[in-house]
């Protein structure tokens, strides 16, 4: 069995910068409490690493609710971004605010704010319950309509003269294509602003293309991560190959690879490289031929005969 390492995979630039920002904050303020407002990135291994450094995870259904649990010290805003109200309240509480928002997400915040100021009604394609739409929506709560499905589009009643649509950065062209087409049918004058992160699209495209030459694909990452779960889905839906999500090598099951000649491995944008390397090593060990021991049947002896050595 050959193990195919699909590239690109693993950390995107936004995750790298967020981890660097939190590491610096924890080192520069060793004598005061440091809290991350929600999961810095959607991977428990990263969260545990910083917990060992004394960084507290403060999680709640919304970032404002989480902020209520932070009274002093440094608060780190995650890569997914937050609403202006969260930033304002954090500063009003006298907290030292470290903003680790991904630059791609910042660009979407700027776009939505500018469109709103110019009088646009905005349709935002995103995942309900994900922190990124929560933050972006806070830029223009009266003007923004969150949609996740085609059914949501059918329920829209847009009356403004200026209409625009944009997207959560961690979706892909495949995720948004049908929704944007339907929006154009219903609202022909709507402007499309594609804010999809290149890293997300590139990883999905590479996984689908590589999967075509593989029998099975393993995706390494957390079930909390939407971009990681979507890697599994695009391989299954577009490449028509079995794909499995694993958090660590311990999750691998040998029966997945029965009869497989090539196994592809990729990982989500928030998955630490060492975790993926461990999965690859384990798969390579599984692929190695296993030694077999053969026990020869004993040679029957005849009375009075000696062993060959004795003879």
Catalytic residue, chosen from 121, 132, 134, 148, is 132
Prior bond to 8 cis, omega within 30?
Answer: yes
> What CA–CA distance (Å, rounded) separates 274 from 138?
36
Q: For 97, list phi and psi in degrees, rounded to 5.
A: -100, 125
Residue 109: φ, ψ to 5°: -55, -45
The rounded distance, in Å, linking the Cα atoms of 102 and 20 is 12
Q: 38 with 270: CB under 8 angstroms? A: no
- Please indicate whether residue 132 is annotated as part of the active site: yes
Strand 216-220: give its sheet, edge to edge.
2-5, 262-267, 216-220, 243-246
Task: Give Cβ neighbours of residue 1 (< 8 Å, ≥ 6 apart).
Answer: 257, 260, 261, 262, 263, 283, 286, 287
| Catalytic center residues | 132
């Amino acid at each position: 069995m050959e193990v195919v390492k699909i590239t690109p995979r693993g950390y995107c630039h936004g995750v790298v910068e967020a981890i660097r920002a939190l590491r610096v904050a924890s080192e520069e303020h060793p004598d005061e409490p440091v809290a991350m407002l929600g999961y810095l990135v959607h991977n428990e291994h990263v969260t545990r690493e910083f917990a060992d450094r004394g960084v507290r995870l403060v999680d709640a259904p919304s970032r404002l609710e989480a902020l209520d649990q932070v009274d002093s010290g440094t608060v780190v805003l995650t890569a997914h971004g937050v609403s202006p109200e969260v930033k304002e309240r954090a500063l009003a509480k006298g907290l030292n605010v470290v903003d680790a928002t991904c630059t791609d997400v910042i660009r979407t915040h700027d776009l939505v704010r500018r469109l709103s100021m110019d009088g646009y009604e905005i349709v935002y394609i995103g995942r309900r319950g994900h922190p990124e739409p929560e933050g972006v929506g806070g830029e223009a709560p009266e003007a923004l309509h969150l949609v996740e499905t085609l059914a949501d589009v059918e329920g829209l009643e847009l009356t403004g003269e200026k209409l625009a649509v944009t997207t959560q950065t961690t979706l892909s062209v495949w995720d948004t294509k049908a929704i944007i087409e339907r929006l154009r049918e219903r609202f022909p004058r709507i402007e499309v602003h594609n804010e999809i992160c290149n890293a997300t699209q590139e990883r999905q495209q590479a996984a689908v293309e590589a999967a075509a030459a593989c029998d099975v694909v393993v995706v390494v990452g957390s079930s909390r991560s939407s971009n990681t779960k979507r890697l599994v889905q695009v391989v299954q839906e577009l490449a028509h190959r079995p794909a499995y999500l694993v958090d660590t090598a311990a999750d691998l099951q040998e029966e997945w690879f029965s009869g497989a000649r090539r196994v592809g491995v990729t990982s989500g944008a928030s998955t630490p490289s060492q975790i993926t390397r461990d999965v690859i090593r384990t798969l390579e060990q599984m692929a190695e031929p296993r030694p077999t021991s053969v026990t020869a049947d004993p040679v029957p002896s005849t009375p009075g005969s000696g062993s060959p050595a004795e003879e």
